Amino acid sequence: MNTQHIAIGMRALAKVDRDLKQAFEEIGPPPPRMRPKGFETFLSTIVSQQISTEVARVIMGRVIDLLPEVSADALLTIDDQALRKAGMSFRKIEYAKGMAEAVASGNLDINGLDTTSDEEAIAAIMSLRGFGRWSAEIYLMFSLQREDIFPADDLALRVSLGRLKNLPNRPTQKQARELVAHWSPWRSVGSLFLWHYYRGAPT
């Protein structure tokens, strides 16, 4: 989602949500957030799980250095111990190799996700071990640039929504989805704004 797309979405959201409009006037629009499509992003998603961004960047760099090319076939040729030395846990190696096998065998067509519906793409990604709904929705938002995604499993997103709506308690996933249903078809931009608000809103 580029700056222009975000601006259009925020104007649309401000028309249907008074709380969001007020917050938008206070802190402005969220910055763009985009990630490339493809195998490398899937691999990075696995490497990054449950570790800091900086540590993940270092490990991902080491893994890429091992590969003759960043592809599923190349990853499958790398010995597990080499990946372990690069910093990946055995569980992440298992997930990464499983993902690579799915891509190499054609069971997962990463490029083909472009032409599927949101739910079909999410289901295809979630069929991989190590990929939950949140990971799938983040890929759709930032790599496929899908416009109407709301990753309700994200804790910061729900904390931010609770603040925005002045709720006494953090909403559940179900409650959060209901609270932003009227944001459709701009829920991806709304999600970006909630992350922005989480960092910039008064507690």
What three-state secondary structure class fits 67? coil
Helix boundaries (H) for the chain: 3-16, 18-27, 39-48, 53-66, 72-76, 80-86, 90-105, 118-126, 133-142, 155-164, 173-179, 187-200
- Percent of the chain having pLDDT more than 70? 99
Quickly count: other Cβ atoms within 10 Å of residue 184's Cβ. 12
pTM of the model: 0.91
Residue 108 CA to chain centroid, in angstroms? 18
How do residues 106-156 score in pLDDT, each as one tens digit?
A: 999 999 999 999 999 999 999 999 999 999 999 999 999 999 999 999 999
Where does the pLDDT of residue 201 fall: very low under 50, low under 70, confident under 90, or very high at 90 and above? low
What average pLDDT does this structure show over 61-90? 97
- The answer to whether the beta carbons of residues 141 and 157 sit under 8 Å apart is no
Is residue 203 scored above 60 in pLDDT? no
- The answer to whether the beta carbons of residues 44 and 70 sit under 8 Å apart is no
- Residue 128 identity: L
What average pLDDT does this structure show over 11-33? 96
Geometric angle at alpha carbon 47, from 44 and 50, rounded to 5°: 120
Is residue 159 scored above 90 in pLDDT? yes
What structural domains does the chain harbor? 3-31+149-200 (1.10.1670.40), 39-142 (1.10.340.30)
CA distance linking residue 141 with residue 151, whole number of Å: 9
What average pLDDT does this structure show over 9-27? 97
The contacts of residue 202 (CB under 8 Å, 6+ apart) are none
CA distance linking residue 196 with residue 99, whole number of Å: 32
- Residue 75 identity: L
